[in-house]
Chain A
């Protein structure tokens, strides 16, 4: 069965303390691996799409990487405004049913 697991569930960092969020996926052929940011009471905001192992994408303090079984979202020198829930999702080749992880809730303290 297609599934996505994110860890940790919650992460608290001090401002400037770099870290990584993990997304493990099991899908029947990966058509795309997606990262989103979700603020409380809002819809998910698209960040990145990755397609093949070894691929990397960057946006400001965020960098997403992809292996054959996992994706990582690296946060470098985070700021309080990076506090949000980060969602990972995998799109299988054989259907359009994107599978989402439960998310990692990131809190960055000043």
Chain B
């Protein structure tokens, strides 16, 4: 039971390059999220998916696209990377259990754009 996994762990891109961050979960949760975390700031939501086939923008969606491929997988794509996208990216899932929401995070992808 791996929980939430993310690949790659580290990535360096040049400005203008594209890449896709992968996230997979084996927890059978419907909801999945992509966040970015920058020094001195809280985690900020990029995109959210309530279920397979649905996605919604979060606080900071510009420059990103997402795909909810199936219940297990939720990918984040940077079409043309910019230095402002240097950050740590976290994927998360959530479930409502006994009336309470619980959210679980992956280990993160550390992205540097030069």
User: Which residues in A have some Cβ–Cβ distance to B below 8 Å?
Assistant: 4, 31-32, 34, 36, 41-46, 49, 51, 87, 89, 91, 96-103
Establish whether residues A42 and B107, one from each chain, have CB atoms under 8 Å apart when the complex forms: yes
- Cβ-based interface call for B105 (8 A): yes
Chain B interface, >50% SS class = strand
Q: Write the nearest CB–CB distance from B51 to chain A, whole angstroms.
A: 12
Establish whether residues A89 and B101, one from each chain, have CB atoms under 8 Å apart when the complex forms: no
Q: Write the nearest CB–CB distance from A33 to chain B, whole angstroms.
A: 10
B4, B43, B59, B104: residue with the most chain A Cβ atoms closer than 10 Å: B43
User: Which residues in B have some Cβ–Cβ distance to A below 8 Å?
Assistant: 4, 31, 40-45, 48, 50, 56, 58-59, 90, 92, 99-108
Establish whether residues A49 and B101, one from each chain, have CB atoms under 8 Å apart when the complex forms: yes
Establish whether residues B100 and A51, one from each chain, have CB atoms under 8 Å apart when the complex forms: yes
A49 and B44 CA atoms in complex are apart in Å by 19
A43, A44, A45: residue with the most chain B Cβ atoms closer than 10 Å: A43
A36 and B99 CA atoms in complex are apart in Å by 19
Q: Which residue of A lies closest to B41 (CB)?
A: A102
Chain B neighbourhood of A34, CB < 8 A: 101, 103
Q: Which residue of A lies closest to B57 (CB)?
A: A97
Knowing A89-B43, A97-B48, the reply to whether A46 touches B102 (Cβ < 8 A) is: yes
Establish whether residues A45 and B42, one from each chain, have CB atoms under 8 Å apart when the complex forms: no
CB pairs A–B below 8 angstroms (19 shown): A31-B101, A36-B105, A41-B108, A42-B107, A43-B4, A43-B92, A43-B108, A44-B90, A45-B105, A46-B103, A51-B99, A89-B42, A89-B43, A96-B58, A97-B59, A98-B45, A99-B42, A100-B44, A101-B42
